[in-house]
Amino acid sequence: MTDDVTPVVRGRGLVKRYGRVTAIDHADFDLMPGEILAVIGDNGAGKSSLIKAIAGAVQLDEGVIEIDGVPTRFRSPIEARNAGIETVYQNLALSPALSIADNMFLGREVYKSGFMGKYLRMLDKKHMRDFARAKLTELGLMTVQSINQAVETLSGGQRQGVAVARAAAFAKRFVIMDEPTAALGVKESRRVLELIKDVRDRGLPIVLISHNMPHVFEVADRIHIHRLGKRACVIRPGDFTMSDAVAIMTGAMQPPEAAAA
């Protein structure tokens, strides 16, 4: 990491306690422009708490988060979203009965302009459909039959594709993805991994939480290893093996000096 580049996210001394449990214990965090940063760690290491704190879903007890160099504290996920931060959660947060287009605009529906449109809150369905179609096409996801198709008729990989496309379409700063391939088969995972790289290549930095080491080593530019509530170190996939990463994660191997955070 070079000193003259401002991190997209910089967290220092982050602490989150749930009663007697310290989920985040003076952790540091850096997301650099244009990168896929994987966050790995054992169960209960504090990964979810960390990204929830960044995304405004959890309030920190201590520490400072800077977004693009500005100290920022989101009081809710909506504030984070309004600031251009999109999160793709494991449970997807899609509404199965609604169409792909409606899901893309869930919670940020567009209403027709003009007095009547605004007064009667008439949805601008055409705009939403056109936008959804354009975004899915851009990301090579128009393998679905129709933008009006209900999400419940899609495969797991296609659904995940819609969730990633939605995040990519609306994120202005960065995207957080929590286990995006966890429920997918080999072929579908492949497609979603390609999609994640594609989103990165379009300039959006990505925080990827995953337990899947081959996936992490395939797509990550850097890997943040979280252990016992702290960042143990940051490594580059080319410099370490998957076994090394797991050993550091579980405490069987000391974090390397040079990579220690």
Q: How far apart are CA 57 and CA 54, in angstroms?
A: 8
How many CA atoms does the CB half-sphere of 20 hold within 13 Å?
Answer: 0
249 counts as binding ligand ATP under rule CB under 6 A:
no
Task: Compute the least distance from the CB of residue 250 to ligand ATP, in Å.
Answer: 13
Exposure string of 32-43, with b = 16+ CB inside 10 Å and e = fewer, is bebbbbbbbbbe
**The two three-digit tokens of residue 44, written as one number:** 């209960």
Among residues 47 and 135, whose Cβ is nearest to ligand ATP? 47
Among residues 41 and 180, whose Cβ is nearest to ligand ATP? 41
59 counts as binding ligand ATP under rule CB under 6 A:
no
91 counts as binding ligand ATP under rule CB under 6 A:
no
In the window 12-41, what residues touch ligand ATP (CB under 6 A)? 18, 21, 23, 41
210 counts as binding ligand ATP under rule CB under 6 A:
no
Please name which of 171, 173, 174, 143 lies closest in space to residue 159, comparing C-alpha atoms: 143
- H or E segment and range at residue 26: strand 21-31
How many residues contact ligand ATP, by CB under 6 A?
Answer: 11
Task: Compute the least distance from the CB of residue 33 to ligand ATP, in Å.
Answer: 25
Interface residue list for ligand ATP (CB under 6 A): 18, 21, 23, 41, 43-49
